[in-house]
Structure 1
Amino acid sequence: MRVLVIFSHPCRESFNFGVVQTVLQTLKEQGHEVRLRDLYEEGFNPVMHADERRGYHDEGDNVAPVAEYVEDIVWCEMLVFVYPTWWYGLPAMLKGWLDRVWLPHVTFSMPTTEAGSRPKMQHIRAIAVVTTCGASWWLSKLVGEPGRKTILRGLRALCAPRCRTLYLAHYKMDTSTPESRDRYLTDVQRKLSAFAG
């Protein structure tokens, strides 16, 4: 399977960097064709400037500022997001990637007076989120996990009708222990293997 891994964390010494290494190793050991986009390392600009926004709905032209990233999502059959959950949501870098790369006419058709919007990413059959959360499980649920919903509901709606999803979170990251982190990496390897297999 063609798998695109989107990694969004600024620090190489972070636990999240170890998580993405586990994700990449797991997928490659299963024989998947993997592309990594390390948004911070690449210096991806998450800011949509005025001229880009003015051309956002212009079919063809809207792709030009982010063409290589659009090519990635057209290529892949599975998406894996690895990121820290900050303020219950996505890091600004990742949200900016969604804003700029998931463009109309590429990922969905624009609605008309005759028909509503239609999803155009039906080649994507699976989406996984691998994240860390400072908050506990119950507090995350109480707030509503907006980051989880953005990807596994909003983004999924543009993919294949039976697109499978996986959500793996290490909650209470701020009080984690070496043992809890090891358990999480083992879970990631085991559950992602089963999901991607």
Structure 2
Amino acid sequence: MRVLVVYCHPVPDSFCAAIRDSAVEVLKARGWEVRLLDLYAENFNPVMSCDERRSYNGSAPQDPALKPHFDHLAWTQAILFIYPTWWYGLPAMLKGWLDRVWAADVAFRLPAGKGRIKSLMTHVTRLGVITTCGAPTWWSVVVGQPGRKTILRGMRALCATRCRTFFLAHYLMDSSTPKTRAAFLGRVRRTLERF
């Protein structure tokens, strides 16, 4: 199985980095081919230009910096997103990656006329999210968990019909302890052993 780990956090020694390292370790131990995409380390530009937006519905963006990202999407069979939840959603860097990389002729094809959108991501059979969140679980649910819905509903709609998904969140991250973080890493490992 080929998995793309999309990692998004600006602090190199964050708890999200520990999650990333544990995840990659477990996946490799299972014999999976792993590609790690660290958006901050590569200084990914999340800003869509005016020209890019004007041609968005017609064809893939022509920015050569996006070509390796398109190749990653074509290669992968599973995608694991690891990021912090900020203001109940995705970090701007990750949202910009989705905006610019999951593009026409890469992730989907728009119909000419009134037909249905055609997915180009049906080779993706697994989709996972591991995140940290400062809010408690109950408040995240009240707010509607927009980050979770963006990926596990919106992006999943372009994946294989029976795409398997999971969502793990370490809530109350701002008041976490070494014990809660260790327990969460254990949960990450157990989940990825079944992913």
Give TM class, smaller chain: over 0.9
- The answer for the alignment partner of 2:131 in structure 1 is 131
Answer 1 or 2: which has greater helix percent. 1
- The answer for the alignment partner of 1:48 in structure 2 is 48
Where structure 2 has 5 or more consecutive residues not aligned to the other structure, the ranges are: none
Aligned residue for 2:22, secondary structure, equals helix
Residue 154 of structure 2 corresponds to residue 158 of structure 1: no
Alignment of 1:5-84 (within 5 A): 5-59=5-59, 62=62, 64-84=64-84
Alignment-mate amino acid for residue 123 of structure 1: H
Return closer, same or farther for 1:58/1:65 CA change in 2, 3 Å cut-off. Answer: farther
Q: Runs (4+) of structure 1 moved beyond 3 Å?
A: 60-65
Say whether the 8 Å CA contact 1:22–1:185 is kept in structure 2: yes
How many residues were matched structurally?
Answer: 195
Aligned residue for 2:81, secondary structure, equals strand
Q: Distance in 1 between matches of 2:60 and 2:46?
A: 20
Where structure 1 has 5 or more consecutive residues not aligned to the other structure, the ranges are: none
The C-alpha deviation readout for 1:113-133, integer Å capped at 9, x for no partner, is 241212120000000001001
Residue 118 of structure 2 corresponds to residue 112 of structure 1: no
Alignment of 1:168-187 (within 5 A): 168-187=168-187
Q: Distance in 2 between matches of 1:53 and 1:65?
A: 16
Say whether the 8 Å CA contact 2:60–2:103 is kept in structure 1: no
Aligned residue for 1:40, secondary structure, equals coil
Alignment-mate amino acid for residue 47 of structure 2: V
The C-alpha deviation readout for 1:47-78, integer Å capped at 9, x for no partner, is 11112222323335547451110110110000
Residue identity over aligned pairs, in percent, reads 51
Q: Distance in 1 between matches of 2:111 and 2:131?
A: 33
Say whether the 8 Å CA contact 1:56–1:62 is kept in structure 2: no
Q: Distance in 1 between matches of 2:58 and 2:70?
A: 15
Return closer, same or farther for 1:60/1:38 CA change in 2, 3 Å cut-off. Answer: closer
Alignment-mate amino acid for residue 121 of structure 2: M
Alignment-mate amino acid for residue 99 of structure 1: D
Q: Distance in 1 between matches of 2:187 and 2:8?
A: 20
Tell me how large the CA RMSD over aligned residues is: 1.3
The C-alpha deviation readout for 1:18-68, integer Å capped at 9, x for no partner, is 110001001000000000000000000001111222232333554745111
Say whether the 8 Å CA contact 2:135–2:171 is kept in structure 1: yes
Say whether the 8 Å CA contact 1:20–1:82 is kept in structure 2: yes
Alignment-mate amino acid for residue 20 of structure 1: R
